[in-house]
Amino acid sequence: MLLAALIGAAVVPASAQEAPLRLDRADYFEAPGVNWLIFSNVNEGLFADAKISGVELIHQGIRTATNGDVRLAATPGQWDPAGQFVSRRVDKAAGVIEAAMRYPGFTYTVRAERRGGSIALSVWLDRPLPDDMVGKAGLNLEFVPAAYWHRSYLADGRPALFPRHPADAMQLTAERNPASGRSDGPGAEPLPFATGRQLVFSPEDPARHVTITAGEGNLSLFDGRNQADNGWYVVRQLIPGGRSGKVIEWTLDAKSVPGWLRPPVIAHSQLGYLPGARKIATIELDRDDKRQLRPSLLRVEASGKLVPVQLPAAREWGRYLRYRYLQVDFSGVKTPGTYLLDYGGTRTAPFPIASGLFDRAWHQTNDVYLPVAMDHVAVNEAYRVWHGDSHRDDARQAPLNHEHIDLYRQGPTTDTKFKPGEHIPGLAVGGWLDAGDFDIRTQTQYQVIRQLVDAWELFAIDRDTVAVDWDARKVDLHVPDGTPDILQQIRHGSLQLLAQYDAVGHAIHGIVEPDVGQYTHLGDAASKTDGLIYDPSLKPYERAYDSRGGRSGTPDDRWAFTSRATALDYGSAAALAAASRAWRGRDDAFARRCLNRAQRIWELEQARPPATFRHGNTTGGPLDVEEFGAAVELLLATGDRRYAARVEALAPAMLKRFGFTAQTMVKALPHMPSAYRAMLEAAARDWTVQADAMRKANPFGVPITEGSWAGSGAVLGFGLTGYALHRAFPEIVDAGPVMRALDFLHGHHPASDRSLVSGVGAVSKEVAYGSNRADFSFIPGGVVPGILVLKPDYPESRDDWPFFWGQNEYVVPEGAMYIALAHAARQLERAAR
């Protein structure tokens, strides 16, 4: 009787005395410190499981749980099936939110009902599960591990600590779970590390205290990191077979701290401010924070004394998303020194007011990030090897009609002389590894080349801190070699583009790993493959060496996706034409090679119908935009009026996408007639109106995107477009967009005050999605996507979990854009002196 009484007491809802949940001012349940989102976000499918879907918990301002839904595995990974969203219903009067979902073979409804301070979460079936889904389909809710490290849990009152690293018992399965990364053979699934009718997370800390109680049966707690480094803790209960109606019900209780208010965030530039610059700090407050506090600015003296500096009163900006904002303008403070901002005891890291801040801001991107992203070379930094000479065995022809990972697809023909699976010689050279992954995406290559050439031509960047030995395929950081680094990077990207034409005669989509197991590899890129060309006549793992070099029976070589897409050809022609200008006079043979290839591409594509193969983001931009870019770059490289004529013909269409094409359109100005300039001037006036409207749209005055990928790229593009238009039409467009964009990148943004450029500023992104993400580390100078806006109103920028690729994944083009934008600010400062 005593044991029964104890068990009964253990399952009493923990939040019986908590504040009741509301469902009146937003389409989710909320109480102080607690938000339950019910299918506000759904799996968009573009990059599969981004850990943003289903039932989610925002706890004391931090999203700690997600993917509450019916799943077919205990710890589903990125490529596992997920239910398809059908519809969502919100009944605020009744306190109910429902989502209708379906899998092939069965449909279901997830229902969330408010019960005081708790949520009754249930799954409903119109008919029993199909037999093949019994034992597979279950209700899951995932909790981010970083939120529960160093904390305890209870399983029916039994105490334990959350594991810092996974070490659970595993069981072999007949079917492979894609999350495991295995390409063949049996799979393995973790066994639960806790079970019970009731699970209580972190009872010692109300900021993370959550109780989950099953209506009947037991809950299981799994660790998804047994199969994937980015796995979460998963609470799961299988759906019983042979039943319909309500088949599962959980009671969810998240501790609600009475009167909790989210601490203020003082958004500001972590890099600091130029003495004559506009200086705006934006204070982000809980929407229920009614306090009227006065911000203060403190100057740090050499002695350590903090001296208050007089500030104007903060002004109320208003509401944006879920927060209330104040702004303080301290532009009048021009005295060089080190400063801090304070608001009600929340104090920033130190930042300087000083001249020349942008002289050095870009150095880590140039000196470390871009070299580390170089493929087909070994990269060494002092005592550290970032990666060895990677992918010496590139590449095999991709199979026909194949839908691959990471948005790659091969069409019904190879468009090459190579058969599926056959080695394509000559591709193991040049190129940058795409984003936090290890593929070479052609569109990335030509975007980065063009951006670096722009920076070279506009700013004459001659920094030399990286030694490249092309013959030895070796790169040493912090070692000068007599050649400007930016030229070496331009050459490296161009070598990959040239290799594609030499190998197959046209631009390809890219080169990517053949299976999930290799794709999910983390660490040294050189250890992904054996570096030996695959030879099907050899046994698996057998190696042979002869006059042809090394061969291997291991089919680990990356695949080349080669379906012809004219947009990629024009994009490559544009980059090679630009590269020819950068290398002219330094290596004329290489410059001629680039220009000759660009001209041949142009002539061929102008003479035949375009190949319009499209798929994901690997087949180029809009065809007319890519053609326009090629015409402009060739015009600048040759002065040939044929290209000017095509620029003029395409210009009206480019005006319709002026936000994306303005920089390229401005480059052509010196070669175009007065009517072209008049057309651009009108567009620049319209652009200025739109840019000014952003000051009303959000407190930061830049475009903040809403989608599954955050918008640092859009902000950088906004700043660079503003600079291009300011140079062309200084009487129409001021330099404000440049500084607003850089302030945003350096910390003046929603959700946090961290710089989005790793290693730049006092506090920056130091846990990011790079090749070293499993180490919870960063690559200096990398730019992350930044602020991800989750529906309906939650801006997120996580610093404790690198695997959120939509907000934390480095992307190579953004690094090149950042170098250019920092130089724009540097140039503006010099012009103002």
pLDDT of 517 reads 87
Provide φ and ψ at 565, rounded to 5°.
-140, 115
Q: Angle at the Cα of 424 (from 422 to 430), degrees rounded to 5?
A: 145
* Two tokens, residue 647: 């620029």
Give the residue from 157, 272, 259 showing the smallest Cα distance to 211.
Answer: 157
C-alpha to C-alpha distance for 786 and 170, rounded to whole angstroms:
36
C-alpha to C-alpha distance for 721 and 833, rounded to whole angstroms:
23
Q: Has residue 273 got a pLDDT over 80?
A: yes
pLDDT of 180 reads 45
13 membership: H or E segment, kind and range: none
The Cβ of residue 320 has, within 10 Å, a number of other Cβ atoms equal to 18
473-482 pLDDT tens trace: 999 999 999 9
Q: Has residue 43 got a pLDDT over 90?
A: no
Q: Has residue 751 got a pLDDT over 80?
A: yes
pLDDT of 46 reads 66
Beta strands in 230-329 (DSSP E): 233-238, 245-254, 265-267, 280-286, 296-300, 306-309, 315-320, 323-329
- Given a contact cutoff of 8 angstroms between Cβ atoms, the answer to whether 590 and 581 are in contact is no
Q: Has residue 175 got a pLDDT over 80?
A: no
pLDDT of 458 reads 98
Q: Angle at the Cα of 585 (from 583 to 587), degrees rounded to 5?
A: 55
pLDDT of 174 reads 67
C-alpha to C-alpha distance for 63 and 801, rounded to whole angstroms:
11
C-alpha to C-alpha distance for 141 and 67, rounded to whole angstroms:
6
Give the residue from 379, 435, 269, 441 showing the smallest Cα distance to 814.
Answer: 435
pLDDT of 822 reads 98
* Two tokens, residue 796: 């997120």
Query: Concatenated DSSP letters for 558-588?
Result: PEEE---BHHHHHHHHHHHHHHHHHHTTT-H
Q: How do 533-534 and 549-552 pair as beta strands?
A: parallel
Q: Has residue 13 got a pLDDT over 70?
A: no
Q: Enumerate domains of the chain plus CATH numbers.
A: 2-254 (2.70.98), 281-355 (2.60.40.10), 362-638 (1.50.10.10), 639-833 (1.50.10.10)
Q: Has residue 685 got a pLDDT over 60?
A: yes
pLDDT of 242 reads 97
Q: Tell me whether residue 660 is exposed, middle or buried, using C-beta atoms within 10 angstroms of its C-beta: 0 to 12, 13 to 18, 19 or more.
A: middle
Sign of CA dihedral 662, 663, 667, 668: negative
569-602 pLDDT tens trace: 999 999 999 999 999 999 999 999 999 999 999 9
* Two tokens, residue 519: 């794709």
Indicate the pLDDT class of residue 1, thresholds 50, 70 and 90: very low
* Two tokens, residue 18: 């908590």
* Two tokens, residue 191: 């066994």
Q: Has residue 432 got a pLDDT over 50?
A: yes
Mean pLDDT throughout 510-538? 94
Mean pLDDT throughout 121-138? 97
Q: Has residue 435 got a pLDDT over 90?
A: no
% of residues, the chain, pLDDT over 70: 96
Q: Has residue 150 got a pLDDT over 90?
A: yes
Provide φ and ψ at 113, rounded to 5°.
-125, 130
> If DSSP codes are grouped into helix, strand and coil, which group holds residue 94?
coil
**357 DSSP assignment:** G
pLDDT of 49 reads 85
Mean pLDDT throughout 802-821? 97
* Two tokens, residue 111: 């229902």
* Two tokens, residue 202: 């972190």
pTM listed for this prediction: 0.95
C-alpha to C-alpha distance for 270 and 752, rounded to whole angstroms:
11
Mean pLDDT throughout 301-312? 97
C-alpha to C-alpha distance for 234 and 57, rounded to whole angstroms:
14
396-408 pLDDT tens trace: 999 999 999 999 9
Helix, strand, coil % over all residues of the chain, rounded to 5: 30, 25, 45
406 membership: H or E segment, kind and range: none
**Sequence-distant (≥ 6) Cβ neighbours of residue 225 within 8 angstroms:** 145, 165, 166, 231, 232
359-415 pLDDT tens trace: 999 999 999 999 999 999 999 999 999 999 999 999 999 999 999 999 999 999 999
Provide φ and ψ at 412, rounded to 5°.
-75, -15
- Given a contact cutoff of 8 angstroms between Cβ atoms, the answer to whether 520 and 228 are in contact is yes
Indicate the pLDDT class of residue 16, thresholds 50, 70 and 90: very low
pLDDT of 65 reads 98
**367 DSSP assignment:** I
pLDDT of 258 reads 81
Residue for token pair 């931090």: 62
**Sequence-distant (≥ 6) Cβ neighbours of residue 495 within 8 angstroms:** 429, 430, 431
Indicate the pLDDT class of residue 182, thresholds 50, 70 and 90: very low
Q: Has residue 256 got a pLDDT over 90?
A: no
Sign of CA dihedral 776, 777, 779, 785: positive
pLDDT of 674 reads 97
Residue type, 779: I
Mean pLDDT throughout 227-241? 97
Alpha-helix residue ranges (DSSP H) falling in 104-180: none
Residue for token pair 């908590």: 18
pLDDT of 176 reads 56
C-alpha to C-alpha distance for 555 and 540, rounded to whole angstroms:
8
* Two tokens, residue 362: 């870009």
**54 DSSP assignment:** B
546 membership: H or E segment, kind and range: strand 543-546
Q: Has residue 200 got a pLDDT over 90?
A: yes
pLDDT mean across residues, the chain: 94
Q: Angle at the Cα of 214 (from 210 to 220), degrees rounded to 5?
A: 80
Q: Helix (H) and strand (E) counts for the chain?
A: 16, 43
Provide φ and ψ at 410, rounded to 5°.
-100, 135
Q: Has residue 226 got a pLDDT over 50?
A: yes
Mean pLDDT throughout 287-297? 94
> Roughly how many angstroms between the first and final C-alpha of the chain, as a whole number?
85
pLDDT of 548 reads 74
